[in-house]
Amino acid sequence: MLYIIFKEFSQSKKMILLSLIFGSLFIVALTSGTEENLMVGRFVLMIAFMVVMTNEHNEDKNKGYSLMRTLPLKQYKIVIGKFTASFILILLGGLYTFIIIKIKSMSTGLSTDMVTTIINSVSTTLLFIGIFYILLYKFGSGIAINISRVVFFIVFFSPGLMNIINEKFNFDIPFMSMITEINIFNSIVLFVVSIVFYQLCMLVSMKFFRNFQNV
Amino acid sequence: MSNSILKVNNLRKKYSEFTLKDVSFELPRGYIMGLIGPNGAGKSTTIKLIMNLLKSNGGEVEIFGLNYKNNEEEIKNRIGYVGEEQIFYEDMSVAWTEKFISQYYKKWDKEYFNSLLSKFKVSKTKKIKELSKGMKVKLGIALALARHPELLILDEPTSGLDPVIRKEILDILLEVIQDENKSVLFSSHITEDIEKIADYVTYIINGKIVLSQEKENILTNWKKISLKKNLVDQEIKRLMIGIEENYFGITGITKNYSKIKNIFSLKNINDGIKISNATLDEILISLVREEE
């Protein structure tokens, strides 16, 4: 299982490096104004989306799952390996965002809002990737990647879209206040819930993986 | 067959347009078995079921006396598998592929792997996508052999390769089998390859095992008979399969040569008959015709 995690990182070295460079610019650009831009947390979703989708596209192209099935490895360990690798990537994405912002705001100090934004982004990304793997093992990579693209753009731009709708049309989106109300307690609760949900997704994925054959 | 390394019992797999029907055979330790059949006969399906890459609809596979339910890792650790398609990560190098695969095997022999690569002239620094088809097969075989498997399973490894590479691969298999504890299951529609190296031959046609015996028995018992038109009668025809009629008479093969010989002697027939040993190819063609 450990080797699957190494494999994931080793295969996506270039993509991770590219995402980190691009991510640094993204975070610095968004935090260069006087006001805090809470969109910076979206970097976590972006890096996970880019790396996981590229890896799964490569697995599909090279029939990687067929290769892994020939190895002396229980099938559920392949799924655990994939989920663990993505989990580590998401946490690293969160940590990287935190470090960049911390360096950037050395003089002004880091606000609680910014910390909760990062935690919320990590949680959202866990939910997103968890559901992606279920779709992948249930319907195959083609359908899963296409659905994920659409969901990614919706999630990525949702805070902005919701604000526009709210301001322009004065329309109250249900639960909007709950979503926009940032506090550390809500974030930690959401984080714990997302970890539990992620593990549930892993269990469901294991079930689907038994029938997922691309040999 | 005692001391079987592989036992396949009533294995079934149903697809919408093809069914593998109750496939059963055994491979003893220290022997090579050739699985012969035309394209689409079920050779690869059988091998994938043996490798637990597909879910069967029934039947059992026992390897080293173990089943997959509780011993998948143990079984696969002792098997060397080369599939019909060489599956590797195309963008990665040979060295990376070795590093990734070797981690899973307890008996991985790095020196042996390197020596095989030198022998095959496969560069470790090359990317997989830069290798030719023959090179990929050689890499697959090197990866399968470097884990010192007790059972080597090869699914049409020589298909689509030129005769030089085919011979090299067959020579390697013969080298492997020098160790009497090792066995090889080798599928191919190229009967020439099987004839060269196999001890046992199993014919699979339309998802069904139609013949499974020692190669020497098959080659001794099966005869090709050509008869002149005036000598043909229904009794003889019933004992032959894959009968081909032409202007001069009929040609077919039989495993009941002694019975036909008796009929000839009873009828005092000496001329107009041509008898020769049937090749594995001729037997395959006749069995396919019979099935159709």
**DSSP helix/strand/coil, B251:** strand
B224 strand-pairing partners:
B253, B276
pLDDT digits (tens, 9 = 90+) for B104-137: 999 999 999 999 999 888 999 999 999 998 889 9
Comparing A65-79, A175-189, B262-276, the range with the smallest average pLDDT is A175-189
Q: Is the CB of B175 inside 8 Å of chain A's CB atoms? A: no
- The reply to whether residue A72 touches residue B72, judged by beta carbons under 8 angstroms, is yes
Q: Where are the alpha helices (DSSP H) in chain B?
A: 43-50, 68-77, 94-102, 110-120, 133-145, 163-176, 191-197, 215-221, 234-238, 257-266, 280-291
Tell me if chain B has a CB within 8 Å of the CB of A3.
Answer: yes
Residue A57 phi/psi, 5° resolution?
Answer: -65, -40
B248 contacts chain A (CB < 8 A): no
Question: What residues in A contact B45, CB-CB < 8 Å?
Answer: none
Element (H, E) at A85: helix A75-104
Residue A196 lies in a domain: yes
Instruction: Say which of B48, B54, B105 has its CB closest to residue A72.
Output: B105
pLDDT for position A34: 58
Measured between CB atoms, which of A10, A67, A213 is closest to B88?
A: A67
pLDDT at A215: 42
Which strand (E) or helix (H) includes residue B157? none
The residue among A3, A67, A70, A209 with the most chain B CBs within 10 A of its CB, best to mutate, is A70
Domains of chain B: 4-213 (3.40.50.300), 222-291 (3.30.70)
ipTM of the complex: 0.83
Average pLDDT of the residues of chain A: 84
Q: Which residue has the higher pLDDT, A182 or B279?
A: B279
Is position A174 within any domain?
A: yes
**Residue A214 pLDDT:** 47
pLDDT confidence bin for B151, thresholds 50/70/90: very high
Q: What is the pLDDT of residue A180?
A: 59
Better-scored residue on pLDDT, B111 or A171: B111
Residue A87 within a domain = yes
Decide which of B109 and B260 is more confident.
Answer: B109
Query: What is the number of domains present in chain A?
Result: 1
Q: Which structure tokens are listed for A132?
A: 């992606």
Chain B (14-53) residues lying within 8 Å, Cβ to Cβ, of chain A: 48, 51-53
Higher confidence at residue A129 or residue A156? A129
Residue A176 located in a structural domain: yes
Which residues fall within 8 angstroms of residue A98, CB to CB, at 6 or more apart? Answer: A115, A118
- Whether residue A146 is contained in a domain is answered as yes
Q: Do B88 and A62 touch (CB under 8 A)?
A: yes
Structural domain boundaries enclosing A121: 2-209
> Residue A214 falls within a domain, yes or no?
no
Q: Show residues of chain A in contact with B75, CB under 8 Å.
A: 72
Please report whether residue A32 resides in a domain: yes
Average the pLDDT over each of A36-50, B22-36, B81-95 and give the range with the smallest value.
A36-50
Chain A residues within 8 A of B105 when measuring between CB atoms: 72
What pLDDT sits at residue A37?
A: 64
A128-139: per-residue pLDDT in tens?
999 999 999 999
Residue of A nearest to B90 (CA): A62
Confidence of residue A36 (pLDDT cuts 50, 70, 90): low
pLDDT digits (tens, 9 = 90+) for A91-110: 999 999 888 888 877 666 66
A62 in B contact zone (CB under 8 Å): yes
pLDDT exceeds 70 at position A148: yes
User: Does the residue A215 lie in any domain?
Assistant: no
